Each structure stands twice: as C-alpha cells, then as structure tokens.
Structure 1
Amino acid sequence: MRLALRDLLGRSTLALAIATSAAFTSLAPQAVADETCMSPYMAKIVGQEDFVYVWTLGVDGLGDGQDKLVTVDVNPKSPNYGKVVHTLSVGGRNEAHHSGFTDDRRYLWAGGLDTNKIFIFDVHSDPGQPKLHKVVTDFVSASGGVVGPHTTYALPGRMMITGLSNNKDHGGRTALVEYTNGGEFVATHWMPTDANLGGASKSGQFADGYGYDVRALPRRNLMVTSSFTGWSNYMMDFGKMLQDKEAMKRFGNTVVVWDLHTRKAKKVLDVPGAPLELRCAWGANNNYCFTTTALTSKIWLIYEDDAGEWQAKAVADIGDPSKVPLPVDISISSDDKHLWVDTFMDGKARLFDISDPFAPKQVYEKVIGKQVNMASSSWDGQRVYFTSSLLANWDKKGDDNEQFFKAYEWNGNELVEKFSVDFTAEKLGRAHQMRFGAYSLYAKHKDDTPSGRALAAKE
C-alpha cells in the first residue's frame, strides 16, 4: 500500500493546480458546529461568539516575525466587528500549529511543533485580551523523547497531547503525553507498533506507531487517535517532499482505538493514506467518528459494529482523488447530519450529507481562496470561519501564498462572505488554527474587563 500511495502522489504532482470553478447545489443542511470538535467535557458557546483566537505562524521580515495569538472581533454588534483587536507575540518562530482549551475553558494551550514549547494563555480574565500565563518547556524531557506537540485535548483536569515524532529519528514513532491543567507532566502513552502492541490487537497489516489527532467518546469509554506523518516531513519543503521516495514512505496508515479510562490501546485499525483530523458523533446512539486521508482523499468511518467491535471503512471520495486535493480539516454538525471538509490544494470547502454515515454525499462546495486550511463553525451553524496556512514549509509560494482569516454567513444555501483579514497586509503572519471566545462563558460583560472599558472610553 505504501508503494501505491507513493506512486499516486508522484503521478499527481503535475495536477496540483488550483481549481477555478465550483459546482453549487441548493440544498439546506441543518446547523453545523465546529464547537462540536471541542472536548465533550467542556462548556460550549451556544450563542454568538465574541472573538476568534487565531494561532498564527510568524514570518521572517513580516511585522515582528514572531508566532502570535491574534484576537479578531467577530460579534456583529461590536463597533470593532471584523477587526483585529489584540495580538500577543510569544517570542521567535515555533511552527505554531494547534491549540485547545482546558476542560474549564479558562486556559488555551497552543503548541509549537518545532521548539516543542506549549504556550498556555489565560483567556478568561479578559476574553478580548488574552495573557500569556505559562510556557511548558519540558515536553521532550518529561515525556521520554516525544517531539512535536500537536493536538491539545481536554479531559477532566487533564490535557492529552498528541506528539508527532520522537527525538531519536524524528520519524513517525510517537506517543500521547498527559499533563495536568496546571502544566505538570503526568504520563506518556506510546502508540502501539508491531514490535510492541502493548496488548492491542491489529485489524490488518499496520501497527506503525504514528500519531496525529485525538478525540474521545466518554459514553463508550473510547479514545481514538490518527496518524498523519512525523516531524521530519513537516519540516521539509512540500515540493521536495513529494519527490523524495523515502519521505513518501513516512506517512501513517492507522487509527488506534484506546480504553479512555485506562489509557491502554485496544485495537489498531488499518486506515491507509495518512489519516488526519478526527471528529466524533454526538447522538446518544451514534457510535462512530470520521477522519479523512490526505494522500488518498477519502472519508473514513470509524464505527462500533453490532458485536461491539470497532472497525474502519472508507465511505466516500473527496473531489477527484487522482488530483490529490489534500483534505486538511473537517467539522461535524451537532446533529450528526453534515460534515465540512476543507481541501488545501484547490482551496475549497465541501459540505457532505452524512445522515447515512456509511454513504456520505457531497451537497455543496465553494472556493475559499488559493489555499485553505482550517474551518470553524458556530454552534448555530450561521457562521463559518476559514484560515489559510497549513505549514510554513508546505504553504504555496508567490501569489498563491494567500494568508487570511475569512468570515462567512451560512444562509442555508450558500456561504456569503462577511469580512476578510489579510494577515500578510496586516503584517501578522500565517493564519493557522482558530478557537472561539465569549464573555458568556465566564459570566462576564465586556464593560467589566480592561479591554471592554478601554473600548467604551473610545466610544
């Protein structure tokens, strides 16, 4: 399978052109909710969000050149609607990537893949003006050699962090690393491999030990992880990587099912093609999660069968897989009926009807930009936000290197752009991942915060 994937990507390098048209359908899906990608242990923003926090990669020679947390005002009732209201630089460039809240949603943990630092921001004292609370610097030493902190995911009183690699060869072999909410190391949970399955079973031929994303279904005592690729590929130029035969062997082919309570791996599922983000259903009887594969452009269903066994099945194509559109982010709706899928190479957001999880059907698509990475949707489904940057070394070059934060209204038939922030023109950097903030989470009113009082004084 690895040879087939390498050949597929090699044949497709000449086809990685930006799509210039989109086919639209006039279907009206129900509410979509990026808040549903949050941990089930935390409070959700069910009304209007006030801010979007954008974890942003610094660019040499652009502004201060540092990674930063950029706060955008997204409340239409605010006089600062559509504007950057705060930036907080963290010093240097760390390959800013993913972030996640603690279970009480008072702190936002944001990782740097290159330096292995984890920046903990206080977002509750003043949601409009986050503060840097603490920097975790012992990730590699405390974990026993894990590098590349990726997903930061909330469990009760804990943060579970997926690593991308190890400090011996910077390949895909890695682990889950558990911390307290206060930033103290708890334990390392290594991904199962053929050499050390750790009591887990294999569904097929792979047990590669790779890691990427993590999600939980507490009612099924389930934790699940995916396995995209390791640090060495992340830090390689995208075009060079496509032509490097050894690099193209270094992609994961597994999803691992874990016992949530014991943190023990139970089963390694074959999901060939480099699975990325994981999103799990919320319905009381919907025992399944979705992921997409970067190299084969497929939607995969991770589901519990009638016998109580977890299985994996490819259930739909994303665009034309032969052109490698490169799916990068997904967002499931709160009613488990729809799934947004972003594809980096053609800059599109696609919407799938997943009412039948075994047979997703695309119902809408739109070109967001020359490149697109993350998609974040409001709880009520009326607002969808997009960012542009995948990785510093993987983003497009020249005029195709658009860097933006875009806000859209979903009117039931199409995405209508409301505003856009040009991160290059604003000298901010590469806009990567988003998280939402709201005064309502902390029973606060903006006038009771320093940033709110300053705004009121200007008014």
Structure 2
Amino acid sequence: MTRWTPDPTFYPSPRDAAGAPAEQLAYVAAFDRSARQPDAIAVVDTDPASDRYGSVVGWTDLPHTGDELHHFGWNACSSALCPTAPHPHVERRYLIVPGLRSSRIYVLDTKDDPRSPVLVKEIPAEELASKAGYSRPHTIHCGPDGIYVSALGGGSTDGPGGIAVLDHTTFEVRGQWENDRGDQYLAYDFWWHLTRDVLVSSEWGTPSMIEDGLVPELLLGRKYGHRLHFWDLAKRTLVQTVDLGDQYQMALELRPAHDPRKEYGFLGVVTSVEDLSASVWVWQRAGGEFTVTKVIDVPAEPADATELPPALQPFGAVPPLITDIDLSVDDRFLYVSCWGTGELKQFDVSDPLHPVETGSIRLGGVVGRVAHPSFPDERLAGGPQMVEVSRDGRRVYVTNSLYGSWDDQFYPDGVGAWMAKIDVDIENGGMTLDPRFFPHGDEFRGRRVHQTRLQGGDASSDSYCFP
C-alpha cells in the first residue's frame, strides 16, 4: 500500500509553522535594469554557523534579458493540507518566477541542490495571454487547488488585470480565475481567507501607468488604484468593493491574519495626494459586509529641496512611500517599509485596530542615506523595501529596490543593491540590525535586488486551515 507523507515544510497551523527549523538559505530576485545581462535568482546563506553566512552562495541566470524579476513564490505550501482541496502529495520544491516586464514565467527546481536552482520550464508570454488573457504577471500564491498568479495587464490590451491559475503538477496555464469581475479593472496583490471562501484583491495600475515610472499627472489626477475588492473564492465572483477615497493612491500589499479563525487583514497604501503621508488599513467583516479602517498614518518628512530628486523638489518633503508590509506568523507584529524615508517600522498589532509602534530601523532613504553598521562610511541608496519575516518571527530580511523605473525617479544617482537582516525581540518587540549580514554591491553582479523567499517557507508564503 502506498502511503503519502506530506512535505515536512507543510504545517497545519500557524503555531506549528512558528516552531519550524530556521531557514538556511534565502532566494532573492536579482534584475538588471539595463536589460543587458539576464536576471537571476541569487541564493544567500542565512545559517549563522556557516563560514559563508551573509554571502551569496548560489546563482541561477535566466535564459533571456529584460524580464525584470519582481515577486515570485513557491509552487506549493501549507495550504496543500486544507481539507477543502487537499494536495498533500505536492512538494515545496519549485520557485515560480515571473518577469514583470517580459510576461514570461519561469519554473525553477530547488530540490537536488538548493543552492543551484535549475530551470525546468518556461511559460512564454503568448501562452499566458492566449490561455488566461493576461500579461505582466506580478504576485504568486500557492493555493490549495493550484498556483495563483496576479497580473497587471490584459493579454492584448492594457487591462483589465486579474488572476491566472497554473496547474500544481504540470505548471500549465489553466486559464483566467474570475467568473464575474464586476467593475474591477486595476489589479495588484491578492490574498484570501481560505476557511471563509473569501479572496481579497488590491489595485496599482495597468502596465502603461507604471512601466515608465510614476506618472505625476495620473497621481495628482487620482487615477491609481484606491479600492479593495472582496470575492467569493469558490464561485470566483466579485461580491463587494470598498473605496478608500481617491486621495489614497496605490492600495498595494495585503496581509491577512494567519489564524484561520480570524477574518481581518492589513493593507498598505503608498501615499495620500493631500499631504504625501502613507497609511496602513485594516479590513474586517461584520454583519456580512466588509469594512476598511485606517489604523496607521505615517507623515511625510520635511526636507531641503536641494537634497531632493526633481520629482520631489516642488513638495519640499520626503514621502514615506509604504511599499511593503509583512505580518508575523503569530499575527503579533506588523512590519511596514517606508522606502522613501528609509525606515522599517515595527508595530504590535495584537489589537489590529489599535497598533502600537514597538521598533524602528533606518537604512538608506532619499535624504538620510543611512549607512549599515558594518559599512559605516557607505551612504546607502534605496531603503527597506521588500520585507520577509521568518516563520518563527525572530528574523526579518529586507532588500532595497522597488521597481526599476521608479528607483530611477526617487534615487536618480543610482539605487545600488543591498540586503539586510534584522533580529527581533519577539517577547517585547524591538529590532536590531545584524552587523554580520549585509550582502551588497558586487555580490549581486550588477543587478538590483527585490523580493526574498526563505527556504522552507516564510511569513508571506503560506495559508493555514487549522487553528
């Protein structure tokens, strides 16, 4: 008799995941803004006992140029244990890596040698367009019944954006996820409450609105995304849309509670056109309807116009630009990256409607250019951007590039490439930079770095169906 043993990195509950072994490796998207070199997946040693700790120990070049790797994810995760659509025979083995600019999707196998991922499949842009009607794949989530891929653009048009689904096993494009999208047109992130059959999606802009940089006329005209959409996950239909108000531009990252008994989550909003502040919001459901409430405001910081890039000189201030958020697996700490000011904030969100700031670290920043303690004389560009939290909540990893053309607007003298690790006091809150961990510069071979995924899973990879 054949007995299936689930992948040991799959966990039925958040508590089980938080007790998992520490990651030994981190996978990092590295892209060449000039498109002269191929983009790559860099592999970084995260084992403090290793003599290569904090160094790039593996590298996989992709076969083309001009992909602009951005977000990527695992083919399978703890959601495979969910009873509604169990797939316990799949493994967390493959990295699904989209090119945001090229619309290609790559499948890399990490099993035989985790330090040297091997390309095993390429899904061309034409296949994504013809089978799902989408382009510019952005975010990957491993669902219980397939691999979900958000996309910013239509297959042959600028929009609407939406979600495509890939097969768990063959990685074939199954098709478009939505049955009825209502008036949803802009797309960006998506997540779900699996036990409640709810999917949540957010909005950025179509390819023409973002690919050549932030368009001031669109921003001031309040044309970027400012709505949250709530869907019936099983029926794939739009149920409710909540408008935050069009002054809140670019409603981006979504982080639902990991506890499957909870039906709330956090949303990061890049900026308000009224005062350049950034904000974090909470969605929750009461009486059958979802409401969205602003719970964190981060104000812009005044600055001398001579220190600002041309895009910001008329305002005399640096906007925080909340470009990523991440929630620890125990749902206690929310991390908020303020890429413009170069700050990573930590909030205790045990009471999600009343966050309490418990820590702050600065690196880089449009004006500050704060150095890392291991290289105190090196003024850094960029700032904490993509944030990834270990399953046990004790380690946070940040990288510094937002998006190629947007990097160039806010850091016109160059953004460089760096990655930092932060140690967390999980009992009391608070953060400390690890002076031993700072891969940067030439280690990334002239590429910029964006998203990080941790070997065995991380706080933004998995969904759980058991409390």
Give the TM-score category using the shorter length.
0.7 to 0.9
User: Would the alpha carbon gap of residues 258 and 325 (structure 1) be closer, same or farther in structure 2, given more than 3 Å must change?
Assistant: same
Name the counterpart of 2:128.
Answer: 139
The secondary structure found in structure 2 opposite 1:176 is strand
Name the counterpart of 1:11.
Answer: none
**2:411 counterpart (397, 406, 410):** 397
Name the counterpart of 1:165.
Answer: 153
CA contact (8 A) 2:24 2:47 kept: yes
Name the counterpart of 1:14.
Answer: none
Which structure 1 residue ranges, 5 or more long, are not aligned?
1-34, 198-206, 440-459
CA contact (8 A) 2:18 2:393 kept: no
User: 2:203 and 2:153 mapped to 1: Cα distance?
Assistant: 10
The secondary structure found in structure 1 opposite 2:20 is coil
**1:304 counterpart (285, 289, 303):** 285
User: 1:212 and 1:120 mapped to 2: Cα distance?
Assistant: 21
User: 2:65 and 2:340 mapped to 1: Cα distance?
Assistant: 28
1:76 matches 2:93: no
User: Would the alpha carbon gap of residues 426 and 101 (structure 1) be closer, same or farther in structure 2, given more than 3 Å must change?
Assistant: closer
Residue identity matched to 2:25 = F
Residue identity matched to 2:347 = F
User: 1:431 and 1:222 mapped to 2: Cα distance?
Assistant: 32
CA contact (8 A) 2:268 2:322 kept: yes
User: Would the alpha carbon gap of residues 245 and 178 (structure 1) be closer, same or farther in structure 2, given more than 3 Å must change?
Assistant: closer
After superposition, the CA RMSD in angstroms is 2.8
1:267 matches 2:240: yes
User: 1:283 and 1:56 mapped to 2: Cα distance?
Assistant: 32
User: Would the alpha carbon gap of residues 298 and 397 (structure 1) be closer, same or farther in structure 2, given more than 3 Å must change?
Assistant: closer
Cα deviation, residue 369, structure 1? 2.2
Over the matched positions of the two proteins, sequence identity in percent amounts to 26
**2:92 counterpart (92, 97, 105):** 105
CA contact (8 A) 1:109 1:152 kept: yes
User: Would the alpha carbon gap of residues 423 and 262 (structure 1) be closer, same or farther in structure 2, given more than 3 Å must change?
Assistant: farther
Residue identity matched to 1:429 = R
1:58 matches 2:53: no
Name the counterpart of 1:367.
Answer: 362
CA contact (8 A) 1:120 1:135 kept: yes
1:416 matches 2:433: yes
1:350 matches 2:345: yes
The secondary structure found in structure 1 opposite 2:406 is coil
User: 1:304 and 1:423 mapped to 2: Cα distance?
Assistant: 45
Cα deviation, residue 78, structure 1? 1.9
Residue identity matched to 2:212 = M
Count of matched residue pairs: 383
The secondary structure found in structure 2 opposite 1:277 is strand
User: 1:186 and 1:346 mapped to 2: Cα distance?
Assistant: 42
Higher helix proportion, which one? 1
Name the counterpart of 2:213.
Answer: 237
Name the counterpart of 1:130.
Answer: 117
User: Would the alpha carbon gap of residues 438 and 163 (structure 1) be closer, same or farther in structure 2, given more than 3 Å must change?
Assistant: closer
1:295 matches 2:271: yes
1:376 matches 2:393: no
Name the counterpart of 2:454.
Answer: 436
User: 1:294 and 1:177 mapped to 2: Cα distance?
Assistant: 25
Residue identity matched to 2:455 = G
User: 2:61 and 2:358 mapped to 1: Cα distance?
Assistant: 40
- String of CA shifts for 1:62-92, please: whole Å, max 9, x gaps: xx72110000111112222111111111121
1:388 matches 2:400: yes
- String of CA shifts for 1:246-295, please: whole Å, max 9, x gaps: 88543112111111222222111213422111111123542101111112
User: 1:333 and 1:148 mapped to 2: Cα distance?
Assistant: 29
Residue identity matched to 1:408 = I
1:340 matches 2:335: yes
Residue identity matched to 1:401 = V
- String of CA shifts for 1:297-320, please: whole Å, max 9, x gaps: 111111111x13222222221344
User: 1:79 and 1:361 mapped to 2: Cα distance?
Assistant: 38
User: 1:43 and 1:119 mapped to 2: Cα distance?
Assistant: 27
User: 1:343 and 1:415 mapped to 2: Cα distance?
Assistant: 17
Normalising by structure 2, report the TM-score.
0.76
CA contact (8 A) 1:254 1:269 kept: yes
Cα deviation, residue 424, structure 1? 4.7
User: 1:167 and 1:247 mapped to 2: Cα distance?
Assistant: 28
Name the counterpart of 1:256.
Answer: 229
Which structure 2 residue ranges, 5 or more long, are not aligned?
1-8, 77-90, 273-277, 302-316, 366-381, 458-467
Residue identity matched to 2:400 = S
Name the counterpart of 1:148.
Answer: 136
- String of CA shifts for 1:392-427, please: whole Å, max 9, x gaps: 101143555131111222245332223211145642
CA contact (8 A) 1:164 1:210 kept: yes
Residue identity matched to 1:381 = G
Cα deviation, residue 170, structure 1? 2.1
Name the counterpart of 2:319.
Answer: 324
Normalising by structure 1, report the TM-score.
0.77
User: 1:246 and 1:276 mapped to 2: Cα distance?
Assistant: 15
User: 2:174 and 2:296 mapped to 1: Cα distance?
Assistant: 39
User: Would the alpha carbon gap of residues 121 and 349 (structure 1) be closer, same or farther in structure 2, given more than 3 Å must change?
Assistant: same
More deviation, 392-401/267-276 = 392-401
User: Would the alpha carbon gap of residues 234 and 435 (structure 1) be closer, same or farther in structure 2, given more than 3 Å must change?
Assistant: same
CA contact (8 A) 1:56 1:432 kept: yes
Q: Indicate the structure whose relative CO is greater, using CA pairs within 8 Å and at least 6 residues apart.
A: 1
Cα deviation, residue 382, structure 1? 2.0
CA contact (8 A) 1:191 1:209 kept: no
Residue identity matched to 1:392 = G
User: Would the alpha carbon gap of residues 423 and 46 (structure 1) be closer, same or farther in structure 2, given more than 3 Å must change?
Assistant: farther
1:183 matches 2:192: no
Cα deviation, residue 60, structure 1? 3.1
